[in-house]
């Protein structure tokens, strides 16, 4: 008889332990209950360029003023983030993206041997060649400028970095591409006598020295239909 009582005590102690654990779990779950947010993450408001509410429109760079003073070493350093997909040497192989030798002034989707996306091919109707403005807008936000492009790079939002990069790219096979004259319309508040561009000479990049040749006569703009450097 006493043996049965001992087993009953053991069994009762086990049940009491299980019951205590369940009660503690339920109580702690009630006290420390968390409510899942309706939307994951944090919402960050980013104003659209040119939108209302006092947002300032962003002017395109004044190439005639900025290219001659661009930091070519910084531009070469900026290209390091492009090397995973692009080569830039003359005759270089295509990678994930096309070789970029002579890209400034080259026909859009015009590098032989590279399979461009349908979106980039269609973009030829809007930008026949990679002008300075077209390159600048594409590098700023590739997917926004050419919707559907295969280029997954997020873009460079810093204007100075883009100018330095494009100036350096000009020294890589595009030294014949003429830089336009300084444009007062792209320099808010700058007072210049005479008509815009009057008496100002375009400055082609001097490939030997890597600096603008400001004494050279203005070269005619690159043809929109002829690729430069392939």
Residue 37 lies in a domain: no
Nearest-CA neighbor of 210 among 62, 64, 67, 63?
67
Nearest-CA neighbor of 181 among 198, 165, 161?
198
**Range of the structural domain that residue 88 is part of:** 63-187+200-212
Low-confidence residues in the chain, pLDDT < 70: 1-5, 24, 27-57, 188-230
- How many domains, in total, are found in the chain? 1
End-to-end Cα spacing for the chain? 102
Chain mean position to CA 128: 21
Q: What's the confidence (pLDDT) of residue 2? A: 57
Angle subtended by helix axes 159-170 and 132-140, to nearest 10: 130
CATH number at residue 118: 1.10.760.10
Instruction: Give yes or no for a contact between 161 and 78, defined as CB atoms under 8 angstroms apart.
Output: yes
Residue 145 lies in a domain: yes
Residue 12 lies in a domain: no
Q: Any idea how long the chain is?
A: 230
Residue 28 lies in a domain: no
Residues 75, 205: Cα–Cα separation, whole Å: 14
Place of tokens 């508040």: 189
Q: What's the confidence (pLDDT) of residue 59? A: 84
Residue 117 lies in a domain: yes
Residue 150 lies in a domain: yes
Q: What's the confidence (pLDDT) of residue 5? A: 66
Q: What's the confidence (pLDDT) of residue 205? A: 47
Instruction: Give yes or no for a contact between 88 and 172, defined as CB atoms under 8 angstroms apart.
Output: yes
Residue 105 lies in a domain: yes
Q: What's the confidence (pLDDT) of residue 208? A: 37
- Residue 48: its H or E element: none
Residue 80 lies in a domain: yes
């Amino acid at each position: 008889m006493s043996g049965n009582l001992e087993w009953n005590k053991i069994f009762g102690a086990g049940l009491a332990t299980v019951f205590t654990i369940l009660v503690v779990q339920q109580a702690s779950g009630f006290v420390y209950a968390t409510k899942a947010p309706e939307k994951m993450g944090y919402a960050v408001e980013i104003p659209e360029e040119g939108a209302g509410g006092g947002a300032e429109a962003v002017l395109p760079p004044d190439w005639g003023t900025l290219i001659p003073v661009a930091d070519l070493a910084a531009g070469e350093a900026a290209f390091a983030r492009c090397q995973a997909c692009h080569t830039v040497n003359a005759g270089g192989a295509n990678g994930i993206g096309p070789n970029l030798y002579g890209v400034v002034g080259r026909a859009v989707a015009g590098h032989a041997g590279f399979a461009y996306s349908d979106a980039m091919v269609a973009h030829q109707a809007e930008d026949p060649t990679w002008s300075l403005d077209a390159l600048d807008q594409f590098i700023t936000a590739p997917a926004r400028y050419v919707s559907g492009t295969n280029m997954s790079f997020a873009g460079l939002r810093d204007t100075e970095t883009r100018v330095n990069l494009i100036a350096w790219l000009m020294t890589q096979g595009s030294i014949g591409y003429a830089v336009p004259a300084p444009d007062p319309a792209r320099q808010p508040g700058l007072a210049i006598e005479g008509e815009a561009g009057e008496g100002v000479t375009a400055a082609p990049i001097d490939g030997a020295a890597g600096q603008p040749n400001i004494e050279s006569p203005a070269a005619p703009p690159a043809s929109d239909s002829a690729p430069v450097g392939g």
